[in-house]
């Protein structure tokens, strides 16, 4: 069976690679990767001599020939799990179309440690990755601001200031946020605070960032008072009992009393 195996690589510390990942990198006929220099450093560290071929967004046309010439291909991104913000997804689609078996190994990633260490809710979250550019950027941020889940973003240092300014405008300065940079490296930092504080703290940022935004507290949905009142009245409630039932359902007291004591429509 011809196969393509996606191999997660360390996001910083070289010891974070798994034993299974090293086994695949040794056994594969060829290792496709975003940057042969970075992947070669990892392979040299572990004494692996498998040939490397660069396959990134600019050289994706090489993928078809690579899959035609080899039966066992490993793919590694610069750091972390392939298929997230790199051409791994396109390579998987092409391999599946050619009848390859596709395997994805578990391993290092940046957003999970950042999310867990943020101190913000983790039960429900949305991973957005890198934001789009241009007009689509603001539109996407406005959509994310309506999220009831924690939001996780990736950002490069040269764009961090603009992103924090945009988030400030949409979420407000007091909104909770955590920023993680250089995860697993010597200068790892996980900072927690508000968006207003973050904009001041990271005026001259260094390193790749993961931004974790706390969920926005949305106003509770207003009940359909008319339908609710009619349903409760049909159950035999009226007067004070109806008013109390409407209040319990979230209807403001004055409005509940008006509905409870108004005259029946003809």
Q: What is the pLDDT of residue 221?
A: 52
Q: What is the pLDDT of residue 92?
A: 92
Q: Is the pLDDT of residue 151 over 90?
A: yes
Q: What is the DSSP letter of 71?
A: S
pTM for the predicted model, two decimal places: 0.74
- What does 137-161 look like in DSSP terms, one character per residue? HHHHHHHHTT-SSEEEEEE-HHHHH
165 CB neighbour count, 10 Å cutoff: 12
Residue range(s) occupied by CATH 3.40.1010.10 in the chain: 3-104
Residue range(s) occupied by CATH 3.30.950.10 in the chain: 111-213
Q: Is the pLDDT of residue 7 over 60?
A: yes
pLDDT digits (tens, 9 = 90+) for 29-62: 999 998 899 999 999 999 999 999 998 878 888 8
Homologous superfamily (CATH) of 3-104 is Tetrapyrrole methylase, N-terminal domain (3.40.1010.10)
Cα atoms in the Cβ-side hemisphere of radius 13 Å centred on 10: 20
User: From 3.30.950.10, 3.40.50.720, 3.40.50.970, 3.40.390.10, which CATH number describes the 111-213 domain?
Assistant: 3.30.950.10
pLDDT digits (tens, 9 = 90+) for 90-126: 899 999 999 999 999 999 999 999 999 999 999 999 9
Q: What is the pLDDT of residue 51?
A: 96
For the segment 135-145, the average pLDDT, to the nearest whole number, is 88
């Amino acid at each position: 069976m011809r196969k393509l195996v996606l191999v997660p690589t360390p996001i910083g510390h070289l010891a974070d690679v798994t034993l299974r990942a090293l086994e695949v990198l040794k056994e594969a006929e060829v290792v496709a990767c975003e940057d042969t220099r970075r992947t070669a450093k990892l392979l040299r560290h572990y004494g692996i001599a498998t040939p490397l071929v660069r396959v990134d967004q600019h050289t994706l046309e090489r993928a078809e020939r690579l899959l035609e010439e080899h039966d066992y291909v490993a793919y590694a991104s610069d750091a972390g799990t392939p298929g997230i913000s790199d051409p791994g997804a396109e390579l998987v689609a092409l391999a599946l179309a050619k009848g390859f078996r596709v395997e994805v190994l578990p391993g290092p990633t940046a957003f999970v440690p950042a999310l867990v260490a943020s101190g913000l809710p983790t039960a429900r979250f949305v991973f957005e990755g890198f934001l789009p550019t241009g007009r689509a950027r603001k539109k996407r941020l406005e959509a994310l601001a309506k999220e009831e889940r924690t939001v996780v973003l990736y950002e490069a240092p040269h764009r961090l200031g603009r992103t924090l300014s945009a988030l400030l405008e949409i979420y407000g300065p007091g909104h909770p946020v955590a920023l993680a940079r250089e995860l697993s490296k010597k200068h790892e930092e996980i900072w927690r605070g508000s968006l207003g504080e973050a904009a001041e703290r990271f005026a001259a940022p260094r390193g790749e960032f993961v931004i974790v935004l706390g969920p926005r507290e949305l106003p509770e949905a207003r009940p359909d008072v008319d339908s609710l009142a009619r349903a409760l009245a049909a159950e035999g409630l009226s007067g004070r009992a109806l008013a109390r039932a409407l209040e319990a359902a979230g209807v403001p007291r004055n409005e509940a009393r008006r509905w409870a004591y108004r005259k029946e429509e003809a």
